[in-house]
């Protein structure tokens, strides 16, 4: 069985679970993709190849990084965990970067991805009960 990268597994999970297809928006960054919520059209995940120096890390190999939307409270505690960094190229109060190098297990990423997806869903307004005709 061929070993798939964490990026490939997460991309497959997104497609299978949410039906979102990767959108490649930048000609100069062909490895960078975003995923939009099907209803709200808002981004909930961005996958990027980023040089370590841009993330404040050492090394020369570009890293696979996923940005997801996250609550401010969670960001604080996640940043203390290996594999999580302040969001690259996004609002650092509402987004966080996860390095997809197996340092954060898939089963820890998936619930966060779910929260990100749910956070951009179209908010449903409560409907007033309609008077019934008698």
Q: What's the whole-model pTM score?
A: 0.87
CATH code of the domain containing 23: 3.90.1150.30
Q: Which domain holds residue 75?
A: 6-117
- Per-residue tokens: 119: 């956070």
Q: Is residue 35 part of a domain?
A: yes
What's the structural domain count of the chain? Answer: 1
Task: Please give the chain's pLDDT, 134 residues, in tens.
Answer: 456 899 999 999 999 999 999 999 999 988 899 999 999 999 999 999 999 999 999 999 999 999 999 999 999 999 999 999 999 989 999 999 999 999 999 999 999 999 999 999 987 766 665 566 65
Q: Is residue 81 part of a domain?
A: yes
Q: Is residue 134 part of a domain?
A: no
Q: Is residue 127 part of a domain?
A: no
Show Cβ contacts of residue 58 under 8 Å, excluding neighbours closer than 6 positions. Answer: 52
- 95-111 burial, b at 16+ Cβ within 10 Å, e below that, comes to bbbbbbeeebeeeebee
Q: Is residue 122 part of a domain?
A: no
Cα end-to-end span (Å), the chain: 66
Q: Is residue 112 part of a domain?
A: yes
Q: Is residue 131 part of a domain?
A: no
Q: Is residue 126 part of a domain?
A: no
Q: CA 72, CA 95: separation in Å to the nearest integer?
A: 8
């Amino acid at each position: 069985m061929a070993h798939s990268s964490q990026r490939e597994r997460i991309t497959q999970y997104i497609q299978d679970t949410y039906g979102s297809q990767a959108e490649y928006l930048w000609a100069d960054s062909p490895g960078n993709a975003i995923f939009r919520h099907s209803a709200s059209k808002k981004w909930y995940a961005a996958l990027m190849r980023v040089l370590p120096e841009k993330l404040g890390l050492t090394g020369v190999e570009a890293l696979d990084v996923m940005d997801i939307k996250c609550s401010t409270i969670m960001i604080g505690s996640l940043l203390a965990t290996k594999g999580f960094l302040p969001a690259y190229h996004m609002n650092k109060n509402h987004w966080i970067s996860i390095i997809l190098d197996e340092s954060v297990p898939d089963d820890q990423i998936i619930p966060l991805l779910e929260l990100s997806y749910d956070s951009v869903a179209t908010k449903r307004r409560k409907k007033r009960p309609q008077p019934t005709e008698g």
